[in-house]
A = this chain, B = another copy of it.
Amino acid sequence: MHDVIALDADDTLWRNEDLYRDTQAEFRALLAHYHDPAWIDARLYEAEVRNLPHFGYGIKAFILSMVETAVELTEGRITGAEIQKVVELGRAMIQAPIELLDGVHETVASLAERHELVIVTKGDLLEQESKVERSGLREHFRGVEIVSRKDRPTYERIARRRGIAPADFVMVGNSLRSDVLPVVAMGGLGVHIPYHTTWAHEEVDEEERARHAYVELRSIRELPDWIASGV
């Protein structure tokens, strides 16, 4: 039985990727007099992926990638005031209100009555802690695991520490690559609830999908019935 249910946070419990997309649109507008939008997006994505091993995930890393991209794209002609504007875009992201996704509040509250819930989220420690606190959902979760990567060894470590057999480990999230496939690989149950938009770096091709068996739900509202069906 599934005593413990692990849930991803960004784009599973609350909106996240939209915030990055909106900020990126403002960044594009800021640099519009230097380059065309597609070129700006491509170079920013390059910087993000290049910086991932050094700076990791999260808003601070995103700000640093925007700053570098702005300097590169303008060949150093960017002004100090424009750089400050980029940093301000990032600070606004950190302070943005948390918008829970549809059905999250009631579903989480209801699941918490019968199961031990745990958040497993990737990213910046301070940012993720702050979002959990501000979400109003903290009381429903027994624990919060903030990790630097979501791979099979990470999930194995969490299951071991919480005394859960891999076969009993259920992980629910919007990212096939981070939330679902590594859990399926260790013998656990992955539940995929797609979000309307996915960061390119998190995308998985059809062939990779086909090699794994997992459950797909349209909304978190379907989760309690699926859990109760005892699959």
Contact = CB atoms under 8 A, between A and B. Distances in A.
A70 interface: yes
Contacts of A72: 84
A84 B76 CA distance: 8
Contacts of A79: 76, 80
A201 interface: no
Interface string A50-67: 000011100011011001
Given A70-B80, A83-B83, 13 more contacts: A54-B94, A60-B61, A60-B64, A63-B64, A67-B67, A67-B83, A67-B87, A71-B80, A71-B83, A76-B84, A78-B83, A79-B80, A124-B125
By Cβ-Cβ distance, the 6 closest A-B pairs, closest first, are: A76-B80, A56-B126, A60-B60, A76-B81, A71-B80, A78-B80
How many monomers of this chain does the complex have?
2
B84 A68 contact: yes
Interface of A: 54-56, 60-61, 63-64, 67-68, 70-72, 74-81, 83-84, 87, 90-91, 94-95, 124-126, 129, 146-148
A131 to B, nearest CB: 12
A92 to B, nearest CB: 10
A63 B162 CA distance: 37
A72 to B, nearest CB: 8
A94 B61 CA distance: 13
Contacts of A68: 84, 87
Contact of A126 (B75, B80, B129, B148): B148
A125 B147 CA distance: 8
Nearest to A90: B64
A141 to B, nearest CB: 14
A91 to B, nearest CB: 6
Contacts of A81: 71, 76
Nearest to A65: B87
A64 B87 contact: yes
Given A71-B83, A71-B84, A129-B148, A55 B64 contact: no
Contacts of A74: 80
